[in-house]
C-alpha cells in the first residue's frame, strides 16, 4: 500500500477509446493531476501492445485507473508494470480485466460498482412502477384508438397498491432496488441463496424460493450475477409459474434468462417484459423482441451513461485520494467474493 509520506503515486489511465472523454470533466482531470503523477490526457487503449509513451508510463505506474474496455491484466502485461500496486476501476465488474495474476501479485483493486448500481436501480424502479400501472399497454392502446374509451374498465386490474415484486439477487443493484421500493405500498420477495433470514428481515423483504417467487410476483426483476450457475436461471419452469399478465425485467445479463423459453410466453401475450439485456447482446434484426407490443427493449442503457459517468469518476477519484493518503480503499474488490458476484 502507498504511504502518505511517499511522493504522489504514478498513474496511468487504461480504457477503450472515447471513454475517458465521457468519464472525466475538466474538473476531474484537474483533481486527478493533483492526486497522482500522471498525464491526465494520456490514455492507454492496448496495454498488451503499447506505444513508446504508454510503455514508459506503464513501466512506472503504481496505479492503473481503468474503465470499460481495459486490457486484461495478464501475467505478461503485469511483467511490463513492475511497480503496479493498485487498480482503480471507474466502472462495475472487474472480471473482464483483473486476472488471477493480479491477485497472485497482491495488487489492491477497487471498483465504482456502487456508483454504477444507482442508475440501474433507478431504471428498474421506473420499469416496476410502469409495469404495475400498465403504462406501456395503455400508451399503445391510446395511440391505436385515438378515441374516447373506458380506461378504468380496461385497466381495472392495474395499479401499484399491495402488488408483489420479486427481486432475484441481492446484488448491489438488487439491494438498491429494494431500498427504492420502500416508500411504495408494495410487497417485496427476494431470492438469493447467500442471504440469511435475519439479513432479509433487515432489508425488509421476504425470502422465497425462486419458483415460489415467480409464482407470487406480478413483477420479477433479475439482478443476479452472470455465473455458470446462474445461466438460464429464469427458464421454462419459472416463466410458466409467473401469473398471466406478469412482467419480467432483466437489467443484469441476457444469459440469466432462457430466451427460447421466454419468446413463446411473450408472443402469446401471457407475459410482458422489460429487457435492457439479451442473449446475444444485440438481437438479430428479425428478433420478435423489437416488435412485440408487450416488450420494452432497450440497448443496455440502464447502467451509467451521459452525466451518470461522472458519478463513477467521482467515486474512483475518492478511492485514489484514499490510496494516495495511505488509507485502505473504502470499497475494495475481494477475490473471494467474485465467485458469487458480478
Q: Which of 45, 97, 163, 253 is catalytic?
A: 253
Distance, CA of 51 to CA of 57 (rounded, Å): 10
Q: Provide the strand spans (E) within 40-130.
A: 43-44, 63-66, 86-89, 108-111
The rounded radius of gyration (Å) of the Cα atoms in the chain is 23
Contact (Cβ atoms closer than 8 angstroms) between residue 104 and residue 84: no
**Active site annotation includes 339:** no
Is 319 annotated as catalytic? no
Say whether 253 is catalytic.
yes
Which is the catalytic residue, given 85, 141, 300, 340? 300
Using CA atoms, how far apart are residues 137 and 132, in angstroms rounded to an integer?
Answer: 11
Judging by DSSP bridges, how do beta strands 219-222 and 63-66 pair with one another? unpaired
**End-to-end Cα spacing for the chain:** 25
Are residues 294 and 273 in contact, defined by beta-carbon separation less than 8 angstroms? yes
Can you read off the three cell numbers belonging to residue 185?
405500498
Contacts of 56 (CB under 8 A, 6+ apart): none
Which one of 76, 154, 179, 281 is the catalytic residue? Answer: 281
* Residues annotated as catalytic (active site), given as ranges: 253, 281, 300
Amino acid at each position: 500500500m502507498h504511504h502518505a509520506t511517499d511522493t504522489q503515486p504514478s498513474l496511468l489511465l487504461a480504457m477503450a477509446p472515447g471513454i475517458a472523454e465521457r468519464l472525466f470533466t475538466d474538473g476531474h482531470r484537474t483533481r486527478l493531476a493533483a492526486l497522482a503523477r500522471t498525464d491526465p490526457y494520456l490514455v492507454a487503449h492496448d496495454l498488451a501492445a503499447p506505444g513508446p509513451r504508454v510503455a514508459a508510463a506503464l513501466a512506472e505506474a503504481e496505479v492503473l485507473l481503468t474503465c470499460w474496455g481495459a486490457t486484461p491484466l495478464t501475467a505478461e502485461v503485469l511483467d511490463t508494470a513492475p511497480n503496479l500496486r493498485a487498480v482503480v476501476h471507474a466502472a462495475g465488474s472487474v472480471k473482464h480485466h483483473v486476472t488471477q495474476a493480479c491477485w497472485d501479485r497482491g495488487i489492491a483493486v477497487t471498483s465504482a460498482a456502487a456508483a454504477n448500481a444507482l442508475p440501474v436501480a433507478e431504471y428498474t424502479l421506473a420499469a416496476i412502477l410502469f409495469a404495475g400501472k400498465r403504462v406501456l399497454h395503455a400508451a399503445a392502446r391510446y395511440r391505436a384508438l385515438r378515441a374516447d374509451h373506458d380506461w378504468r374498465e380496461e385497466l381495472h386490474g392495474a395499479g401499484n397498491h399491495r402488488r408483489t415484486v420479486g427481486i432475484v439477487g441481492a446484488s448491489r443493484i438488487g439491494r438498491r432496488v429494494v431500498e427504492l421500493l420502500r416508500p411504495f405500498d408494495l410487497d417485496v420477495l427476494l431470492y438469493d441463496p447467500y442471504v440469511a433470514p435475519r439479513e432479509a428481515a433487515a432489508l425488509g423483504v421476504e425470502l422465497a424460493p425462486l419458483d415460489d417467487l415467480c409464482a407470487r410476483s406480478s413483477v420479477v426483476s433479475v439482478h443476479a450475477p452472470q455465473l455458470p450457475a446462474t445461466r438460464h436461471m429464469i427458464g421454462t419452469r419459472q416463466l410458466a409459474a409467473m401469473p398471466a399478465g406478469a412482467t419480467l425485467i432483466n437489467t443484469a445479463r441476457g444469459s440469466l434468462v432462457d430466451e427460447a423459453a421466454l419468446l413463446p410466453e411473450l408472443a402469446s401475450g401471457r407475459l410482458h417484459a422489460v429487457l435492457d439485456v439479451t442473449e446475444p447482446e444485440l438481437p438479430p434484426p428479425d428478433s420478435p423482441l423489437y416488435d412485440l407490443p408487450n416488450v420494452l427493449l432497450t440497448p443496455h442503457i440502464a447502467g451509467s451513461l451521459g452525466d451518470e459517468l461522472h458519478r463513477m469518476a467521482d467515486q474512483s477519484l475518492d478511492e485514489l485520494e484514499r490510496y494516495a493518503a495511505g488509507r485502505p480503499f473504502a470499497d475494495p474488490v475481494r477475490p473471494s467474493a467474485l465467485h458469487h458476484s458480478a
